[in-house]
Amino acid sequence: PRQPPDERRRHVPAGQARPEERAAVHGGVFWSRGLEEQVPRGFSEAQAAAWLEAARGARVVALERGGCGRSSNRLARFADGTRACVRYGINPEQIQGEALSYYLARLLGLQRHVPPLALARVETRGAQWAQVQEELRAAHWTEGSVVSLTRWLPNLTDVVVPAPWRSEDGHLRPLRGAGSELANRSQAELVDLVQWTDLILFDYLTANFDRLVSNLFSLQWDPRVMQRATSNLHRGPGGALVFLDNEAGLVHGYRVAGMWDKYNEPLLQSVCVFRERTARRVLELHRGQDAAARLLRLYRHHEPRFPELAALADPHAQLLQRRLDFLAKHILHCKAKYGRRPGT
């Protein structure tokens, strides 16, 4: 029997997109809702809460070198068998930057891409570290230092800059909803680009120079660097991009922003299509002019060791707001230039 018209409209064969989901972009500058729904879920709020609780009471039974970035970091094993990356900063501002970047990601709704993080204090006489005294001495960690704990993530794979965004000379070409870069791209490629545009916004706001910006810097010596793996960016088994090692963000990154913004700003301006939810959060923080206050409230609410690391200094709090304002103006510029009114 023939289905009623509304039933025929709703029924879509498996693997086939509805007509309204086939368009990659709506309104000229926003990724389609169909694409957004296909972005892998990554880390959830529930996982973040569970990790904070577990890491806070965990007893470390082993500390090993390797698998967690810099040589001063360690791969820890908890008594229940869970493994975690323990990041020890060369100076406290690196752990401060890591923690602030994580909570900024949550404030922006990007927590699915940043591994849940908890802070711990290195106390050789404390119960948490009692079984790894020799390993602590070998690591040369300062007593009382604050370290970050993130769950160790197995089976991560490297990621390179997507082809639609990369020109033959290695530089980035503008990515616009109105351009030809998105034509004839597979659904998987488009879902990837949705995640990359969030990454570019996040790294601009945090002034993180230790990911794609470092690749851009290296172009002057290595014209093929953009075809190689991007630093501190991986793909999880479920397909979500994972933004790792964000310790250069917000604090150290802000101190040296003048040196790196000649790469960071063109990188941001190469993107003129956005996830609508992310753009909405940015515009809200721009209108409220209270980004640093909201960030610190979120951080203080979730992290018991918040008082043990310095808060965002006033000049850096002001710089965060200025960067949000710059980003908001960029989004509005793209809307004015490429946005389409309903029915056009």
The model's pLDDT over 69-120, given as tens digits with 9 standing for 90+, comes to: 889 999 999 999 999 999 998 888 899 999 999 999 999 999 999 999 999 9
Mean pLDDT of the chain: 86
Stretch 176-200: mean pLDDT, rounded? 85
pLDDT in tens, 306-332: 888 878 899 999 999 999 999 999 999
Mean pLDDT across 198-223 = 87
- Report the range of poorest mean pLDDT among 86-90, 151-155, 217-221, 250-254: 217-221
Give the DSSP letter of residue 181.
T
pLDDT at residue 110 in the model: 96
pLDDT class of 51 with cuts at 50, 70, 90: very high
3-state class (DSSP) for residue 247: coil
Query: Rounded mean pLDDT of 247-273?
Result: 90
201 or 308: which leads in pLDDT = 201
Which tokens hold the place of 340? 């389409």
- Band (341; pLDDT cuts 50, 70, 90): low
277, 261 contact by CB (below 8 A): no
| DSSP-assigned letters across all residues of 3-56 | PPHHHHHH---TT---HHHHSSEETTTEE-HHHHHHS---S-HHHHHHHHHHHH
Given a contact cutoff of 8 angstroms between Cβ atoms, the answer to whether 31 and 185 are in contact is: no
The string over 278-303, giving b where at least 16 C-beta atoms fall within 10 Å of a residue's C-beta and e elsewhere, is bbebbeebbeeeebbeebbeebeebb
> Measured in whole angstroms, how far is the alpha carbon of residue 184 from the centre of its chain?
27
Instruction: Tell if the pTM clears 0.85, that is, is over it.
Output: yes
